[in-house]
Amino acid sequence: MRRPPLSRLVALLAAMLVALGTIFVRLTVLQVSQAASLRALALEQRLRTVELPAVRGEIVDRNGEPLAISLEARDVYADPRYVRDPWATAAVLAPMLGRDRAELADLLREDTSFVYLARQVDLDVADRIAARGLPGIGSLPSSRRSYPAGPLAAQVLGFVGVDGVGLAGLELAYEEELSGIPGERTQEIDPLGQPIAGGIDIERPPVPGATIVTTIDRDLQYQAQRALEEHVRANRARGGTVIVLDVRTGDVLAMATYPWFDPNRFTEASAETYRNRAVTDAFEPGSTNKVITAAAAVDRGAVGLRQVFAVPWELRVGGYTIHDAHPHGVLPMTLGDIVAESSNIGSILVAQRVGAPAMAAYLDRFGLGRPTGVGFPGESPGILPPPYAWTGSSLATISYGQGVAATPLQMAAVYAAIANDGRWVQPRLVRGIRDPRTGFEPAPPPRTRRAVAPETAEVISRMLAYAVEAGTGQRAAVPGYQVAGKTGTARIPAPGGNGYLRGQYIASFIGFLPASEPRVVIAAILDRPTTDYGGIAAAPLFQEVARAAIARLAIQPARPLPPPPTAGDGP
């Protein structure tokens, strides 16, 4: 047999040496210079880091009763890289998750390492999915927001989206405090997407959110909502608002707007029902604004309490003819009579004694034209034209509550200032925050300012009590208690600002009790009731809520205030 030439063997040996050298060099590079980076890359492929959401803090009433809580749940996810058969996996998951099989299959085919299949899944469902051991399918700790009392204080509380973020109300206003601090978990997983036993498993636990302690009294809130719904339906109104305000502290004990919604199913409700109209919507207050006119006149000494005005049925002011609610001859009226009988013309005559500059100043003192600062998102400042923009009729119309707009909460705070010896107190919805790390931190003290002198407030309280005893507010009377308050029947501006809607009104009654030692202010407002007048439509609603407040807060009767001087008293 002929042996191959020596040159061929040398060439073959050289080629083998080059190949082995290349392999050796490559192995050296991989095992020495690139070892650390390759190990890191391999580890990165095996590691999965996911965020652990913090448990959202609760919202509770003033007594610690839950209004909004978070229930334990699971978020079901997939790592499509490890899903062997997307269609078969989707067929297993679809009935358990209540989702369309084709939609799930599309998610399981996505070119990504993480995709949510369902959020806030009940624990038993997540456990059944885990028991199937599906490759690439897992679950993460989560929570589901729940409102145990359903629609109770729904517009105040707001609601939370599927991502656990507050979208409205206090849930939105206190998102930072409620949301807590998320944690994270890093695990080493095998090619099937399952955790490797004994592998890396590092967890940084989340910090739960804080608890928001509101000023709301859950029982009183329920009674206020029940009464509001009943009277809206009885008067065939479009809606309504009730506010119960603590006179001294400014605490909102109840705040209801009808129609409301169930925040547990907020996606099924109309977005119109989300608004907390007690804070976000301004309306012309009508005759309830006469309390500011009367207070300004008394506080400045512009009108004597025994001074008698000759009040006609109509009056020409600034090119317009203004009249009272009902035709009458020229009537002798004191300021007390004007308030009790709710005379528009009488209010104009009083305001003319006060003057536009002083009237504007008192409107500002009582908080009209600026937000109360209650701490609720979207609070309206109302509408108060600056004095330089007042027309020849502005002083007249504003004196009886037209040409100016305020929120129900602003008007409740006006009456609370009278009830609180003439001192305006900032309303508040939150008493404090209970942080899991630092404990309870009370809310800052409410801002206060002097609106009128204590003596003025006492005189106006007497007039308001007389308005209930012998004037337009008689249907608001509560046996055994002296109520002080005022009716309002306000016209509704037409869209575009051209005049008013024909035959449509906002009926209201705002008052406090007991008149001499006030505990609560109650604002009862109905939107376009068929019964029209505040004394007929809203006063009975006030009365029912007042009865509930008396029972819930154990309010005791107090000495009655004497009536103010009236034209019928004689010289």
- Annotated catalytic residues are 287
Find all residues with CB under 8 Å of 13, minimum gap 6, and list them: none
Peptide bond into 259 cis (omega under 30): yes
Query: Is the separation of the CB atoms in 278 and 408 below 8 Å?
Result: yes
Strands annotated E in 124-220: 137-146, 183-188, 201-204, 211-214
DSSP code at position 555? P
How many residues are recorded in the chain?
Answer: 571
DSSP code at position 493? E
Name the token pair of 465. Answer: 């009590």
Query: Is the separation of the CB atoms in 292 and 362 below 8 Å?
Result: yes
- 372 vs 378: CA distance, rounded Å: 12
Distances from the Cα of 250 to the Cαs of 106, 262, 410, 483, 501, in angstroms?
55, 27, 12, 19, 34
- 37 vs 295: CA distance, rounded Å: 81
* CB-based burial, 82-107: b 16+ in 10 Å, e otherwise: bbeebeebbebbbebbebeeeebbeb
The burial class, CB within 10 Å (0-12 / 13-18 / 19+), for 373 is: middle
Distances from the Cα of 53 to the Cαs of 68, 161, 167, in angstroms?
18, 14, 17
DSSP code at position 406? B
Q: Is 531 helix (H, G, I), strand (E, B) or coil?
A: coil
- 120 vs 460: CA distance, rounded Å: 55
Report strand pairing: 309-311 vs 66-78: unpaired
Report the interhelical angle of 290-300 vs 454-470 (nearest 10°): 140
- 21 vs 27: CA distance, rounded Å: 10
Query: Is the separation of the CB atoms in 429 and 376 below 8 Å?
Result: yes
Element (H, E) at 360: helix 356-365
Name the token pair of 52. Answer: 């652990």
Place of tokens 């376009």: 528
- 360 vs 375: CA distance, rounded Å: 25
Q: Is 347 helix (H, G, I), strand (E, B) or coil?
A: helix
Residue type, 422: G
Peptide bond into 565 cis (omega under 30): no
- 391 vs 201: CA distance, rounded Å: 74
